[in-house]
């Protein structure tokens, strides 16, 4: 099984970007883990976050393809989000 934990990592772990991938993973974990734990521990916070997520809606499963169209504004925005340091 090797690197495969619960999702196949091989597509993301090319030799040239292995360290950058794990640095990015750790940055995301460090930036969000306390909030994730709070969502689990605080029912009021969970309700607040859930309400915010529902209000952001407007993008059903069939709509996600728009993020992957090269050259689209959404694709550019997505790339900018992931290239920005946390």
Kindly indicate the confidence band of residue 86, based on its pLDDT and cuts at 50, 70 and 90: very low
pLDDT for residue 56 is more than 90 = no
What pLDDT sits at residue 24?
86
Residue 61 inside a domain? The answer is no
**Nearest to residue 59, comparing CAs of 74, 69, 39?**
74
Kindly indicate the confidence band of residue 6, based on its pLDDT and cuts at 50, 70 and 90: low
Domain that holds residue 52: 17-56
Residue 70 inside a domain? The answer is no
Residue 36 inside a domain? The answer is yes
Q: What is the pTM of this model?
A: 0.41
Provide the number of structural domains found in the chain. 1
Residue 49 inside a domain? The answer is yes
Sequence-separated contacts (24+) of 36-43 with Cβ below 8 Å: none
Residue 47 inside a domain? The answer is yes
Residue 4 inside a domain? The answer is no
Residue 76 inside a domain? The answer is no
What pLDDT sits at residue 41?
93
Residue 37 inside a domain? The answer is yes
């Amino acid at each position: 099984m090797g690197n495969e934990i619960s999702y196949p990592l091989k597509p993301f772990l090319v030799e040239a970007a292995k360290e950058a991938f794990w640095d990015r993973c750790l940055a995301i974990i460090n930036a969000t883990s306390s909030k994730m734990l709070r969502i689990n521990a605080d029912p009021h916070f969970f309700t607040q976050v859930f309400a915010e997520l529902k209000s952001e809606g407007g993008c059903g499963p069939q709509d996600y393809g728009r993020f992957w169209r090269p050259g689209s504004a959404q694709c550019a925005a997505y790339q900018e989000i992931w290239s920005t340091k946390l």
